Amino acid sequence: MSVYAVYRLATGDWNEISQFWVSHGAVIPILILISVVDVILEGLAWAWVYHRFSIKTFDRVGFLAFLAGRAGLPLPAQLGRLIRPDAMVKQGRTPVLNALKAEAVVFGLDAISVVSLLGGLMVYQVFPRLTSFAVLGGILIPMFLGNLVTQMLTKTKLHLPLKFWWAWSTFFIIVMMMVGWIAHGLALYVVVQDLPGEMTLWDSLFFGPGTAVLGVATGLPGGIGATEGLLGAALKVRSVPIEHLAIAIAAFRLITFWMWIPIGWIAIAILRKMTPKSSASMAEEPE
């Protein structure tokens, strides 16, 4: 779909398309602002989870370690997530196992947040008044189940900090991540709201996060190709002219995905210069 969109863009009426996007130049700075808010929310949630594992993150090193993870976006099968725990271990902040557990929990909470959001959006289409209950259920049920699993793992190496799951802080972390996903959907809406077609705010909130998750789920590096194709199909279904798809998707992915990768490389380079010569000062693993 995206390849065909590029073809139509190359062979279509460039004058009409260029005039449209020139007249909507304000979209780019707004898109950048929303993307920055999205990343800030993700970073705060990530740092909060690590903090609950007794890993110091609310400082310069934590900030750089989080941004370093953006360099791993193009890696397949979520392997890029290993960059952040690796950075914290090399900075002497925590043992390897503790860092990996913290990152695994971040992944789990993020999954809960996006599934709850998408589920709530689907319920809204059928029973609008039950939307808030659906979202709350999507958050609280996994928290309850996570608490049960945590209790069973108490005396194993996979144990988590006491009362980790069934806590207000965990709930607020998930909500923060969900707001970040909403920002991701709003970024798509900013791009498509004035395009010809039938794209609505609901469509953007659903297809923005949904295509990102499905793209990554394919196992392709960063969901590259899959996410763009799914976005193209979604916009086409909503009657957006195909000659507009290439520019719209390129603008959205450039700001919300590709822009952050070189920033991650810079963060890694700075962290390497800051890495202590000895890791003897590693933090002890929390009980």
> Reduced to 3 DSSP states, what percent helix, strand and coil does the chain have, rounded to the nearest 5?
75, 0, 25
Residue 160 has pLDDT above 90, yes or no: no
Token pair, residue 177, equals: 């991540």
Task: Report the distance separating Cα 71 and Cα 31, nearest Å.
Answer: 20
Task: Report the distance separating Cα 70 and Cα 113, nearest Å.
Answer: 20
Please tell me whether the overall predicted TM-score, pTM, comes out greater than 0.85 for this model: yes
Give me the residue spans of the domains in the chain. Answer: 2-9+33-274
Residue 172 has pLDDT above 80, yes or no: yes
User: How far, in Å, are 101, 114, 139 from residue 109 at the CA level?
Assistant: 12, 9, 9
Residue 207 has pLDDT above 90, yes or no: yes
The reported pLDDT for the residue numbered 216 is 87
Of residues 155 and 265, the one with the higher pLDDT is: 265
Q: How confident is the model at residue 21 (pLDDT cuts 50, 70, 90)?
A: low
Largest separation between any pair of C-alpha atoms in the chain: 67
pLDDT digits (tens, 9 = 90+) for 25-37: 788 899 999 999 9
The reported pLDDT for the residue numbered 24 is 67
Residue 276 has pLDDT above 90, yes or no: no
Task: Report the distance separating Cα 99 and Cα 89, nearest Å.
Answer: 7
User: How far, in Å, are 40, 70, 242 from residue 271 at the CA level?
Assistant: 19, 14, 43
Token pair, residue 68, equals: 């370093």
Task: Report the distance separating Cα 262 and Cα 126, nearest Å.
Answer: 42
Task: Report the distance separating Cα 273 and Cα 254, nearest Å.
Answer: 29
